[in-house]
Amino acid sequence: MGKFLDAQTSQNASYRDSISIPVTTTPVLFGSLGLNTAGAGANLRVEFTFTATLSSLAAILTPVNIEIYRGTGVGRVLVYSAQQTLPIAGLGVASETIISLSGADFNPPAPNNFLVYQAFISIPGGIVIAPTRTGPESFFAAAFSD
Q: Could you tell me whether strands 114-122 and 28-36 are parallel, antiparallel, or unpaired per DSSP bridges?
A: antiparallel
**Residue 120 has what pLDDT?**
98
Q: How many CB atoms lie within 10 A of CB 23?
A: 23
- Helix and strand numbers (H, E) in the chain are 0, 9
pTM: 0.93
Give one word for 83, left, alpha or beta, with left for phi > 0 and alpha for psi -120 to 50: beta
What domains does the chain contain, in order, with CATH numbers?
3-141 (2.60.120.760)
Q: Kindly report, residue by residue over 106-128, the tens digit of the pLDDT.
A: 999 987 899 999 999 999 988 87
Residues 58-84 have a mean pLDDT of 93
Of 4-13, 21-30, 114-123, 126-135, least confident by mean pLDDT is 126-135
